[in-house]
Amino acid sequence: MKTNIIALSALLLTLTTSQLSFAQKNPKNTVKLNVPGLVVGAINVQYERVLSPKVSAVLGVSYFIPASSRVLKGISTSEFKVNKNTMSGFGVMPEIRFYLSGKSEAPRGFYIAPYGRFSRKTIDLDVNATVDFITKGKDIDTKFVGSGSFTTFGGGILIGAQWIFPNNLTLDWWILGLGVTSTKFDVTSNGDYSDLDLSGIDSSVQDSGFPIKLTTKTSPTQLNAEGSILLPDFRMGIAFGYAF
């Protein structure tokens, strides 16, 4: 009887020591910040939870700091002047990571991760434009002052690697993610649009071969454009954090 008790106690001690060793060498939780994202005005925080020695679940949350859209800012010309284009919003990105390194366990080493992407952004516009191809036979100077929303769904596959350094500091390198996203948009502008003639512009966009669906509606005082666009998704970055 004493022999059985001693053997059972030794077994429990061995299992406990093993679990403590795994907890010390491979923390269960990691919190990270995507530092390069701050450069483009996005605060992206990730939480990673180890589910098994080779698998973890990750949830990323992003907040897009209200700022000028660099896309519109870069295409201003003498006939298209962007006075204001403030964009803001948030995003959520879940993923499941499968760690591939033979000797190391999650959350260390190289991994492949299917991921999803959801984001919603709003934009406030103030644009001066000289319009000729959608007017009743003449060039007109008009203003587009309004707001809109952009909702994006998508996903893909990410390849990356993560290291844990002394003091449980971490570096997570998103080497390359490839996927596809679908963005639905709805933009409304108020102004004088009595001279605009948008008949045929929707079909012209559809016939262009660009992966976009567009529906426009106009009245003498309002212009509305809504639709969707399908685009490839690329994901890269470096996140620094703490494991515990």
Predicted pLDDT at 12: 40
Predicted pLDDT at 19: 39
197-203 average pLDDT score: 66
In the structure, what pLDDT confidence band is assigned to residue 2 with cuts at 50, 70 and 90? very low
Lowest mean pLDDT among 42-51, 76-85, 90-99, 211-220: 76-85
In the structure, what pLDDT confidence band is assigned to residue 11 with cuts at 50, 70 and 90? very low
Per-residue model confidence as pLDDT tens digits over 215-228: 888 888 898 999 99
Q: Residue 35: inside a domain, yes or no?
A: yes
12-29 average pLDDT score: 54
Predicted pLDDT at 139: 66
Q: Total structural domains in the chain?
A: 1
Predicted pLDDT at 214: 85
Per-residue model confidence as pLDDT tens digits over 94-143: 999 999 988 889 999 999 999 999 999 999 988 877 765 555 556 667 77
Minimal CA–CA distance to 50: which of 99, 106, 102, 93?
Answer: 106
- The boundaries of the domain holding residue 180 are 27-243
Q: Is 80 exceeded by the pLDDT of residue 204?
A: no
Q: Residue 62: inside a domain, yes or no?
A: yes
Cβ atoms of residues 100 and 50 within 8 Å:
no
Predicted pLDDT at 176: 98
Q: What is the CATH number of the domain that holds 205?
A: 2.40.160
Q: Residue 8: inside a domain, yes or no?
A: no
Q: Say how far apart CA 196 and CA 232 lie, in whole Å.
A: 33
Q: Residue 3: inside a domain, yes or no?
A: no
Q: Say how far apart CA 127 and CA 87 lie, in whole Å.
A: 14
Predicted pLDDT at 126: 85
Query: Encoding tokens for residue 165?
Result: 């350094």
- Type of residue at 100: L
- Where would I find the H helices in 62-187? 70-73
131-156 average pLDDT score: 78
Q: Residue 226: inside a domain, yes or no?
A: yes
Q: Residue 55: inside a domain, yes or no?
A: yes
Query: DSSP 3-state assignment of 231?
Result: strand
Q: Residue 4: inside a domain, yes or no?
A: no
Q: Residue 21: inside a domain, yes or no?
A: no
